[in-house]
Amino acid sequence: MITLAEENYLKAILSISLNSDGKVSTNAIAGEIGTSAASVSDMLKKLQDKKLVKYKKYKGVSLTKKGNSFATSVIRKHRLWETFLVNNLNFDWGEVHDVAEQLEHIKSEELVDRLDAFLDYPKFDPHGEPIPTKDGEISTTNTIPLNKLSEGTNGKVMGVTLDEKPFLDYLTKLNISIGTEIKLLEKISFDQSISIKTGNTKQHISNDVAKHLLIKTN
Amino acid sequence: MITLAEENYLKAILSISLNSDGKVSTNAIAGEIGTSAASVSDMLKKLQDKKLVKYKKYKGVSLTKKGNSFATSVIRKHRLWETFLVNNLNFDWGEVHDVAEQLEHIKSEELVDRLDAFLDYPKFDPHGEPIPTKDGEISTTNTIPLNKLSEGTNGKVMGVTLDEKPFLDYLTKLNISIGTEIKLLEKISFDQSISIKTGNTKQHISNDVAKHLLIKTN
DNA sequence: CTAAATTTTTAGATATGTCTAAATCTTTTT
DNA sequence: AAAAAGATTTAGACATATCTAAAAATTTAG
Ligand SMILES: [Mn+2]
Ligand SMILES: [Mn+2]
Ligand SMILES: [Mn+2]
Ligand SMILES: [Mn+2]
């Protein structure tokens, strides 16, 4: 049996390796989970014993096929639950992440399958993040983070890569949500902050915000 | 914070005290949870420290107001989830208990409220068991266990007091579900087994089965 | 290529929840 | 009212998951 803590470590390792390449470091995992590097070291040994990761001391870690499959399944459950919460229980997109962190650990294949069917096999969650299929496929989209676009480019917000409430509340305040058309007006080289136009209003946002907005250019 | 294990103990204490009176014994809890009496002793001390139970060594335990409120809330969540699983995800009534045992521990008041509204404030779960209201009211029904009825009585099945799969599968095989009209034909004094008539068919069931069927007489 | 800085691991504690075996308390028999 | 039986608690272990502090390895700088 795989425990809740183990699931969270596997998910963290997958998340990190999707946004970087090569082996995942102990410190990166500690940062992602909000725990000490010592705890991570301990856990990596256990995951190694269970053949869920490939781990060489001091050399970082990567998921085995089995580990990747578990991690993907947890992300699938997380995103399906988020979709349910927003679509059916009328939660706001900023309110669902914490509850989904709990629901993702409910163990029942049948439940996930039926929830998926009930939701009519959604491809993306309320944050525009792709929902892995039952057999572990994660669809990739040809989107670019807003901060990587060049000045003058037009595009549409397809998703966000952070689903914490303060961030999403700020986006709501900026009148930005999935589907919003955005034009990148100007990039300030001093701090990489960005001027954008949405509808008829100009706004200015930090690089930290821009990098979490996935844009599909027109 | 109340832990998952603590919630299960409180729920067990409430369940037992609903079907008996006076203090709840250590052994009864151990039996209900499927754990050792030693573990129960340990836990009762912790629950006492948290003011969730009133406990005197060797003298049994009872829930405080606070403990009762938590326990009721867990049962409410359990039954709401079971209702969701049957009504919306097309689970059979025998398949939902184990998953609900997990879902009942998800912590989010908002979630429970919204689920309740989504289900349109159901009063009973798929097994005919009453769903406590948000403020902890558990409706009582004027039903009698089938084994307590006298010969010749007619009635309707309003609920079951056991929701394990083997039992519910057997009921399905007997063509008995909630709403089924039953006539008690004969009680055998030797083993308290019972002859019944449902529709046009006569069947014979044990006392063990009959006692878990709640009947409303016509 | 050494020395300093950083990262990672190990050592030793702590908290939770469980177990078995032994001790103690309570209830039932005789 | 003692002895036996039964219920309950305590004692001592163990597994999981976490932490801080110290040691060791690796990486980066000078
Ligand atoms: Mn999320
Ligand atoms: Mn999401
Ligand atoms: Mn149930
Ligand atoms: Mn039920």
- CB contacts of B110 in chain A (<8 Å) are 91, 95, 99
On the question of pLDDT at A117 being above 90, the answer is yes
Structure tokens at B9: 């103990």
Q: Nearest CB to A118: which of B88, B111, B114?
A: B88
Q: Label residue A218 by pLDDT band (50, 70, 90).
A: confident
| B162-192 tens-digit pLDDT | 999 999 999 999 999 999 999 999 999 999 9
| A59-114 tens-digit pLDDT | 999 999 999 999 999 999 999 999 999 999 999 999 999 999 999 999 999 999 99
b/e burial code for range B77-91 (CB count within 10 A of at least 16 → b): bbbbbbbbbbeebeb
Q: Which of B140, B79, B86 is nearest to B112 (CA)?
A: B79
Rounded average pLDDT over B6-25: 95
Would you state the torsion angle of the CA atoms of residues A34, A40, A44, A45, taken in this order, to the nearest 10 degrees? Answer: -150
| B57-99 tens-digit pLDDT | 999 999 999 999 999 999 999 999 999 999 999 999 999 999 9
On the question of pLDDT at A57 being above 90, the answer is yes
Most B-contacting residue of A1, A81, A96, A102 (CB-CB within 10 A), to test interface? A102
Q: Label residue B207 by pLDDT band (50, 70, 90).
A: very high
On the question of pLDDT at A19 being above 90, the answer is no
Q: How many C-beta atoms surround the C-beta of residue A146 within 10 A?
A: 23
On the question of pLDDT at B218 being above 90, the answer is no
Q: Say how many Å lie between the first and final Cα of chain B, rounded.
A: 47
Q: Do B102 and A102 touch (CB under 8 A)?
A: no
**How many whole angstroms separate alpha carbon A9 and alpha carbon A47?**
9
Rounded average pLDDT over A108-128: 98
Look at residue B141 in the predicted model and tell me its pLDDT: 87
On the question of pLDDT at A138 being above 90, the answer is yes
Distance A28 CA to D16 C1' (A): 23
Are B2 and B70 a contacting pair, CB within 8 Å?
A: yes
**How many whole angstroms separate alpha carbon A33 and alpha carbon A124?**
24
Look at residue B65 in the predicted model and tell me its pLDDT: 97
Rounded average pLDDT over B25-32: 97
Look at residue B19 in the predicted model and tell me its pLDDT: 87
**How many whole angstroms separate alpha carbon B97 and alpha carbon B93?**
8
| B118-162 tens-digit pLDDT | 999 999 999 999 999 999 999 988 999 999 999 999 999 999 999
**How many whole angstroms separate alpha carbon A124 and alpha carbon A141?**
11
Residue A190: CB less than 7 A from any atom in strand D: no
Q: How far is CA B155 from CA B81, B125, B139, B173, in A?
A: 29, 20, 20, 20
Cross-sheet strand order for the sheet of B154-160:
B144-145, B213-217, B154-160, B181-187, B194-198, B201-205
b/e burial code for range B147-171 (CB count within 10 A of at least 16 → b): bebeeebebebbbbbebeeebbeeb
Rounded average pLDDT over A168-180: 97
Q: Label residue A129 by pLDDT band (50, 70, 90).
A: very high
Distance B181 CA to C16 C1' (A): 49
Are B157 and B180 a contacting pair, CB within 8 Å?
A: yes
3 state SS of A155:
strand
